[in-house]
Structure 1
Amino acid sequence: MSLRLITKIKSSKEHHAFIFGNPTSLIFLQNRKMTTSKRVQDRSKRKRVHDLEIATEKWKIFSKIHFLMEIIKSEPEHVIPIRTLEQYRRQINLPKVHKLSVFIRKSPKLFELYKDRRGTLWVGMTQQAEELVKEEEREIEAHSDKLAEFVTRFLMMSSDKRLRVDKIAHFRRDLGLPMDFRNNWVHKYPNLFRVVNSVDGDEIEYLELVEWKREWAVTALERMVGSINVDEHCPGILSLAFPVKYPPNYKKVYRYGGKIENFQKRQYLSPYADSRGLVAGSQEFDKRAVAVMHELLSFTLEKRLVTDHLTHFRQELVMPQKLMRLLLKHFGIFYVSERGKRFHVFLTEAYEGSELIEKCPLVIWKDKVQSLIGYRGRRKKIETFSDLSDMEDKNLIKTDSDNETLSMELHPGETMDDFNDTSVIDDVDMDIDEITDAYKQSSVS
């Protein structure tokens, strides 16, 4: 009887494997080849853009406050006991060592605290905050028709012309959807879309396209570069260059300018065209994915999204599995911030410094709330931008078929019922004023 051998082989840079077998036959059970891949944090750390990191921090602070305002707003009398708010600590992501009441007291222009006769501590909104809530409701209502267009275009880009309602709800705050999105708003435009149940009987609700709007099958990039005859327009092959914006001290664009230029000249399929014939990993597939991302970001209020929300739509939008890798290698079109537990992707063309170039009324409303927030969080240094390493840049325009693994922390699918939306979760904050001042000083020097 032959002796069974178990041998562990190590290679310094290439691979390691476990080998099972006998003197005449060896069976490889594992062979994990090491690549030049890096975690998302490692790949993005060396190309941080200071201004957009500041924009990320502002969003994180605002989202905590806005979440509290929505909870209080949902109460009949617009007041709620502090002990009841404790159940939302995970969504706010306030460490247990910090009292929720202390966090709230830091924004006295927005929140009021008082005790009843039994000594129970309650929190409500100030008169100024109440007026801001009403103003938000008016702006959301005024934004509703435009939002219906964006949701319809979202459905038009999907392969089956329908999307799960709970998945769309992940974008509620990013798009400006109202709090009653799932119960009421989805039924307001029956000429554009309708709610249908899953045929599998699993009680999953889908939003399904009712009418294809030819004039809405024109991408934001097409509208940007020239006039389009929407009456005769039919989505098909495009050959448009994406706007790019690099930091002033990013020098490697000159080294890889040829590859970038070739990518920009490459033809691709419109996000609104039928993409089922595309081969995953091909150059055309990847460029179309960039176009889909560009279009989705153009729908949002702040031209920014939480990336793990995007991963919910990979199948419906015919997107690559390695979506984060695609965003990272097209630095200049997109910017990925990995501060805290969640990654954010920005459309770089939409920003000048840390501010949006064009602000819709809902973003202006957010700025008003931001100016009244007293909480600034922990001070944390943002590392300055430095050039990408040669190892990272040499694969800049390769297709998704390359062997590379990126790790990122994804959160399970959130739900919007009963305010169980975790889109505000994050764990790193800093003083925006201090960081802004430090950045200005570094820019002068």
Structure 2
Amino acid sequence: MVTQLVKFLMKHPHHLLVVVRSKTTSSQYVASRTRDPTFEKLMDKYKNLLKVIAVQDLILANPKNPSVSLEFLSRLSQKLHLNRGAASFLRKFPHIFHIFYEPTKSQPFCRLTDSTMDIFHQESEAINASLPLVVDRLVRILSMSTSNMVPLRAIFKVWRELGLPDDFEDSVISRNSHLFQLCDAHEPNTHILKLVDLLPSNNLTAAVENWRVMECCKEDSSVDRTVIRFSFKHGYPPGMRLSQNFKAKVKEWQRFPYVGPYERMGEKKRTKAGIMASEKRAVSIVHEFLSLTVEKMVEVEKISHFRKLVWNRFEYKGFVPRSPRNILFVNQGKTTYCFSERSL
């Protein structure tokens, strides 16, 4: 085909036509997205929280002597993204970290302050008290899976976001053997978490259904129940330019029926309506997943570990442009986070 085109252009030079195809790269797409100043400021502060948690985990890794040397932290400063060094980072948070000199080892060490240790113990007690809620979250995640199975490594990626205890394999999975089962996967050194006792889909209600009921039950409610039946709570970032065509597409998308996250989807149709239904189902799954997290937010890289079992690659990539701020994406450096509208 290319050879024939070259021969044609050589025989007919006056027909020469240069066609330049425009291509939008992923970085250009991210740069062109409308930014929400509130969430941008939040993520700017949130990155420091992640660094604090990483150092805290290293300190608490030794329960007998919860401390770590500054020399050890300095060696890990690049991996922990401590750009100005470990000592400079620790001094920025004197209410969290206490630097002291250990005479027996002749080097400075770091430990958590007493107030920080009290907060840590309170968090541990709160997690242990919410174990029934944690079990329900795992059941819901497995119920959204088409096979009622999820790789255990995917759960490990989001254990903190789901409010799981650090020993959840023993305290949650093993103690609820009537619900969960660990199976060997085809790959070596990998396990699959399986839901043993399947629950009927009508026993599980998506979080967005509660919002729809509240909207319909308001005294001054003027919403059409036939419209809100498949709608999501949504808004637009400040300063976003909205064309009439875009508003019409959003309104059409909100009215469009879809299969809920806990319902089984039938045969997928490659029609325009079938594709839109698959994309909207993907939105409902991600929305429900975010509602199960403690802070109603999760890193996109972490949630992507569930895409092959909960939604396929096409659906995962397709839900982004059709979910105006009921799922919000915020970039912080090389990391992208997605927020549920319940966190707004």
For Structure 1 versus Structure 2, the TM-score category normalised by the shorter chain is 0.7 to 0.9
Higher alpha-carbon deviation: 342-351 or 124-133: 342-351
CA separation in 1, counterparts of 2:174 and 2:99?
A: 38
Q: Are the equivalent residues in 1 in contact too, given 2:299–2:337 (CA < 8 A)?
A: yes
Q: Given residue 161 of structure 1, which amino acid in structure 2 is its aligned partner?
A: N
Is the partner of 1:259 in helix, strand or coil? Answer: helix
2:302 to 301, 309, 313: 309
CA separation in 2, counterparts of 1:317 and 1:245?
A: 26
Instruction: Say whether 1:51 aligns with 2:58.
Output: no
Q: Are the equivalent residues in 2 in contact too, given 1:220–1:295 (CA < 8 A)?
A: yes
CA separation in 2, counterparts of 1:168 and 1:11?
A: 52
5+ residue gaps in structure 1? 15-33, 228-237, 352-445
1:192-231 to structure 2, matched below 5 A, reads: 192-198=179-185, 200=186, 202-214=188-200, 216-226=203-213
Higher RCO, 1 or 2 (CA under 8 Å, sep at least 6)? 1
Q: Are the equivalent residues in 1 in contact too, given 2:34–2:239 (CA < 8 A)?
A: no
Instruction: Say whether 1:113 aligns with 2:84.
Output: no
Q: Given residue 94 of structure 1, which amino acid in structure 2 is its aligned partner?
A: L
- What displacement does 1:218 show? 1.3
TM-score (norm 2): 0.82
Give aligned pairs, total: 315
Q: Deviations over 1:381-403 (max 9, x none)?
A: xxxxxxxxxxxxxxxxxxxxxxx
Q: Are the equivalent residues in 2 in contact too, given 1:297–1:304 (CA < 8 A)?
A: yes
Is the partner of 2:176 in helix, strand or coil? Answer: coil
Q: Who is 1:331 aligned against?
A: 324
1:124 to 93, 111, 116: 111
CA separation in 2, counterparts of 1:252 and 1:183?
A: 51
1:177-192 to structure 2, matched below 5 A, reads: 177-182=164-169, 184-192=171-179
Q: Structure 1 residues 169 and 245, CA, compared in 2 at 3 Å: closer, same or farther?
A: same
Instruction: Say whether 1:272 aligns with 2:262.
Output: yes
Q: Deviations over 1:389-433 (max 9, x none)?
A: xxxxxxxxxxxxxxxxxxxxxxxxxxxxxxxxxxxxxxxxxxxxx
- RMSD between aligned residues: 2.8
Q: Who is 2:219 aligned against?
A: none
Is the partner of 1:286 in helix, strand or coil? Answer: helix
Residue identity (%): 21
Is the partner of 1:176 in helix, strand or coil? Answer: coil
1:160 to 147, 150, 160: 147
Q: Deviations over 1:81-135 (max 9, x none)?
A: 122234543552223xx22011111111111111222421211111111111101
Q: Structure 1 residues 38 and 89, CA, compared in 2 at 3 Å: closer, same or farther?
A: same
CA separation in 2, counterparts of 1:41 and 1:134?
A: 45
CA separation in 1, counterparts of 2:49 and 2:28?
A: 23
CA separation in 1, counterparts of 2:159 and 2:251?
A: 36
1:138-157 to structure 2, matched below 5 A, reads: 138-157=125-144
CA separation in 2, counterparts of 1:345 and 1:251?
A: 21
1:85 to 73, 86, 100: 73
Q: Structure 1 residues 120 and 347, CA, compared in 2 at 3 Å: closer, same or farther?
A: same
Q: Structure 1 residues 308 and 77, CA, compared in 2 at 3 Å: closer, same or farther?
A: same
Q: Who is 1:13 aligned against?
A: 20
Q: Are the equivalent residues in 2 in contact too, given 1:308–1:343 (CA < 8 A)?
A: yes
1:66 to 53, 56, 64: 53
Q: Who is 1:284 aligned against?
A: 277
Q: Who is 1:101 aligned against?
A: 87
Q: Which has the higher helix share?
A: 2
CA separation in 1, counterparts of 2:100 and 2:316?
A: 48
Q: Structure 1 residues 319 and 247, CA, compared in 2 at 3 Å: closer, same or farther?
A: same
Higher alpha-carbon deviation: 291-300 or 243-252: 243-252
Q: Are the equivalent residues in 2 in contact too, given 1:44–1:328 (CA < 8 A)?
A: no
Q: Are the equivalent residues in 2 in contact too, given 1:275–1:318 (CA < 8 A)?
A: no
TM-score (norm 1): 0.65
